[in-house]
Amino acid sequence: MATEPTGFSRTVPLSLFAGALLLLGLVLASLVFAAIAREDSDEALHAARLNNRTVLLLSLLQDAETSQRGYILTGTRAYFSDFQRAAALARLQFNSLRDDLQTVSIDEETIKRLETLVSLKLEEMKRSANMQAAGDHERAVAVVTTGEGRRLMLEIRQIIARIAAITDTVGFRKTRHLVDATWLLLATIAGGAILIVLLVAGVMHLVTVRSRQLEAARHALVEYNDTLESKIRQRTQYLERANRELQSYAYIVSHDLRAPLVNIMGFTSEFERAADVFKSFLQTVPPGSAGEIENAAREAVDIDIPEALGFIHSSMKRMDELISEILKLARAGSRQFHPQVIDLRELFEEIVATSKHGADETHATIEIAEDLPVVETDRLALQQVFGNLIDNALKYSFVGRAPYIKVSGKVVGEEAIIDVTDNGRGIAEQDLERIFELFRRSGQQDRPGDGVGLSHVRALVRRLGGDVTVRSVLGEGTTFTVAFATKLRPEGREGE
Amino acid sequence: MTEVKPVTIVMVEDDEGHARLIEKNIRRAGVTNEIVPFLNGSSALTYLLGEDGTGARHGGRPLLLLLDLNLPDMTGINILERLRASDHMRRMMVIVLTTTDDPSEIHRCYDLGANVYVTKPMQYEAFVNAIRQLGLFLSVVTVPEVA
């Protein structure tokens, strides 16, 4: 069954597609938010570590200062080595820190200043410690006493405090971002989940509706199939009934037309009889004995009355013939068909042999194809149909050209299709349909005929379950194509 | 036929022209009996069955009915049925003269007691011939009297 595109079958893929797009968007958004969250957390971590490392730098510097002071104060060598280690670590720490500080937007000037301060502080402590080591205790103390070291240390503390504050702020800010991004991530994931649920529900609904429709369609189809046959039977019955009505109508009309015609003919005969009586009477009157009126009476009896009666007779004869033909058609239309197996080739040979316009007298060549089909239909009807066509082909030959008639045929499906082709005078295009009408003829009216044959042919072929068509080129020839059921279906006679 | 009581021919024919042609051609066959024509069924029935509807008024007279089946007010079959139902008229000679050649109609008429069924030809020569033959038939047939 070919389903017609309904609104439903379009909305299914459309809504699925839209839902999938939306879902894809949500997944992409959550990926973006996840990436942002990762970056934020990295940065926050980085800031926190930087903070720690800065504080460690300060602690190392303090360690160095404490050891330096301890050494100068006590002269214990252990302090000196402590100092040297702390100072070396502090320098390393600063060097490792230096590049990272730039990443948290601490300006170059501050970093340089810190570098200078750290160098100066380490230099100051190293100088004083070296003096102590050289045994010059007084000068070492003097270096400390200048307060230069303390001042440096103070400024270092200030800068480190500032750096710590900045990294702290950065860390806080990044953490805040991280929280926001996480929320957004959660929201998109939740949205996606809801969308998936909605999509699945929607699709399931659509599938349910769809399958219900399919089920309904299947039901309808089954029902339709069930009723189709009876509908066809019913229609055929109507048609046959209408056809029968038409035939009985034709019969009644032609029959009823006959009744007044009988009167016209009868009383014309009476009139003729009366005129004859009058004529005989006039003959008894001696010529010239009744003057002017006698001549008029003789003229009426001898010329006018016979002329009028002649026209009345010929017209009545024509009318009688027409009515007879209609009656014949009506009777033929109501004749019951008797299907029998017929070899069309044999049928055509028979027709040609009995053709009234003999092929010999017209020097005609009639070629009947070898492979004409065998059919099961009414023999008399086919004889009348093809007899008419062959007769016409012989009758309406092109003047001065021997008739050549070709009969060919084939079976297509349940129809036999027979072509009767001639090289006759042909039919003008505007007459092609007209020739099938009752009492209509076309072309030069130089052959006897009443315009009934082809209309009879058409009526018969239609009753045989087919139709007759014609192709023609004026002056070259005509092909009649007769199609009819290879196996005649018995006609319904219900309701009779 | 030319006995003491001559046969009266009652003709029911709705076509006046036909009626006249039938009469003329019967006469030409030598039939001289009285012909009473009617153009429709009811007036014919009134004449045949009389005011009382029994047909007693024609008692003892030989009657012959020429009956057309297609009448404007009823079918000839109705008339035939009415006559055969009447005690007086049931033996009356009825000749159906009509255009119908439908076998079922012909059977029906004989079943209902028609004596003769003649199909009226609708070709003039055949019509005239049939009427003349009918005239000849009428001149030899013996018609029963109405009871």
Residue A212: both structure tokens together: 């219900």
Greater pLDDT, A397 or A215: A215
pLDDT in tens, B24-47: 999 988 889 999 999 999 999 999
**Residues of chain A positioned with their CB less than 8 A from the CB of B15:** 259-260, 263
> Residue range A112-117: average pLDDT?
88
Which residues of chain B make contact with A270, given a CB cutoff of 8 A?
Answer: 21, 24
**Taking residues A241-267, what's their average pLDDT?**
80
Q: A268 to chain B: nearest residue by CA?
A: B124
Q: What residues have CB less than 8 Å from B98, skipping those under 6 apart?
A: B67, B68, B69, B70, B76, B118, B119, B120
- The rounded mean pLDDT for chain A is 85
pLDDT exceeds cutoff 70 at A495 = no
Number of other residues whose CB lies within 10 A of the CB of residue A212: 10
Checking if the pLDDT of A204 tops 50, the result is yes
Task: Compute CA distances A299 → A282, A307, A454, whole Å.
Answer: 11, 11, 46
Q: Is residue B78 part of a domain?
A: yes
Please, what is the average pLDDT of chain B? 88
Q: Around Cβ B104, how many Cβ atoms within 10 Å?
A: 7
State pLDDT tens for residues B106-142. 999 999 999 999 988 877 888 889 999 999 998 888 8
Query: Does A259 touch chain B if contact means CB atoms closer than 8 Å?
Result: yes
The pLDDT score that the predictor gives to residue A75 is 83
Angle at A234 between CA A230 and CA A239, to 5 degrees: 150
3 state DSSP class of B93? strand
Q: What sign does the CA torsion over A299, A300, A304, A309 have?
A: negative
Check pLDDT > 80 for residue A333: no
Q: Are A67 and A83 in contact (CB under 8 A)?
A: yes
Average pLDDT over residues A89-103: 85
pLDDT in tens, A344-387: 999 998 888 887 556 567 778 888 998 899 999 999 889 989 99
CA A28 – CA A17 distance, rounded (Å): 16
Range of the domain at B123: 33-139
Assigned domain for B127 exists: yes
Min Cα distance B15 → chain A (Å) is 8
Quick check: B68 pLDDT over 50? Answer: yes
For the ranges A59-68, A205-214, A332-341, which has the lowest average pLDDT? A332-341
Size of interface A-B (CB pairs under 8 A): 40
pLDDT at A2: 45
What tokens appear for B1 in the block? 């036929």
**pLDDT higher than 90, residue A479:** yes
Q: Both ends of chain B: CA-CA distance in Å?
A: 18
Query: Encoding tokens for residue A144?
Result: 């400390």
State pLDDT tens for residues A78-90: 888 888 899 899 8
Answer yes or no: do A267 and B17 touch at CB < 8 A. Answer: yes
Out of B15, B24, B124, name the one closest to residue A265 (CB): B124
Rounded average pLDDT over A459-488: 90
Chain B interface disruption, residue of A263, A271, A316, most B CBs within 10 A: A263
Q: Report pLDDT for A440.
A: 78
Report the alpha-carbon distance of residue B25 to residue B11 in Å, rounded.
Answer: 14
- Cβ of residue A274 closer than 8 Å to a chain B Cβ: no
Residue with the larger pLDDT of the pair A364 and A13: A364
Identify whether B73 is part of a domain: yes
Structural domain includes residue B8? no
Q: Is residue B12 part of a domain?
A: no
Mean pLDDT over residues A110-132, rounded?
A: 88
CATH code, domain with B96: 3.40.50.2300
Comparing A4 with B23, the larger pLDDT belongs to B23
pLDDT at A12: 63
* Residue A398 half-sphere exposure toward CB, CA atoms < 13 A: 16
Q: How far apart are CA A58 and CA A254, in angstroms?
A: 134
Distance CA A90, CA A64 (A): 8
H or E stretch covering B125: helix B124-140
- Write down the pLDDT at residue B1: 44
Confidence class of residue A10 from pLDDT cuts 50, 70 and 90? low
Assess if residue B2 is contained within a domain: no
Q: What is the pLDDT of residues A299-331, one digit of tens each?
A: 888 899 999 999 998 888 888 888 888 777 777
CB A159 within 8 A of CB A101: no
The answer to whether the CB atoms of B24 and A265 lie below 8 A apart is: no
A211 touches chain B (CB under 8 A): no
Residue in A262, A267, A323 to test binding to B, most B beta-carbons within 10 Å: A262
Query: What residue of B is the nearest CA neighbor of A270?
Result: B21
Q: How far is CA A163 from the centre of its chain?
A: 73
Question: What confidence category does residue B66 fall into, taking pLDDT thresholds of 50, 70 and 90?
Answer: very high
CA–CA separation, B144 vs B147, rounded Å? 9
Question: Long-range contacts: A218-227, Cβ < 8 Å, 24+?
Answer: A221/A1
Distance from CA of B107 to the nearest CA of A (A): 17
> For residue A133, which amino acid is it?
A
Lookup: tokens for B145: 């009297």
Quick one: chain B helix, strand, coil %, rounded to 5?
40, 20, 40
Instruction: With respect to residue B1, please indicate whether it lies within any of the assigned structural domains.
Output: no
Between the alpha carbon of residue A254 and those of residues A154, A248, A251, A331, B17, the distances in Å are 140, 10, 5, 11, 18
What contacts B113, CB < 8 A, 6 or more positions away?
A: B80, B83, B84, B90, B94
Residue B86 DSSP SS3: coil
Taking the C-alpha atoms of residue A126 and residue B119, their distance in angstroms, rounded to an integer, is: 160
Q: For B3-26, what is each residue's pLDDT tens digit? A: 457 899 999 998 899 999 999 999
Q: A214 vs chain B: nearest CA distance in angstroms?
A: 56
Residue B12, pLDDT score: 95
Prediction pTM value: 0.49
pLDDT at A496: 33
Residue B112: the pLDDT is 93
Interface residue of B123, B124, B128 to substitute, partner A, most A CBs within 10 Å: B124
* Token couple for B11: 């003709």
Domain count across chain B: 1
Domain annotation covers residue B20: no
B90: distance to nearest CA of chain A, Å?
31
Mean pLDDT of A442-469: 84
- Cα B9 versus chain centre, distance: 7
Distance from CA of A303 to the nearest CA of B (A): 25
Angle at A263 between CA A259 and CA A267, to 5 degrees: 170
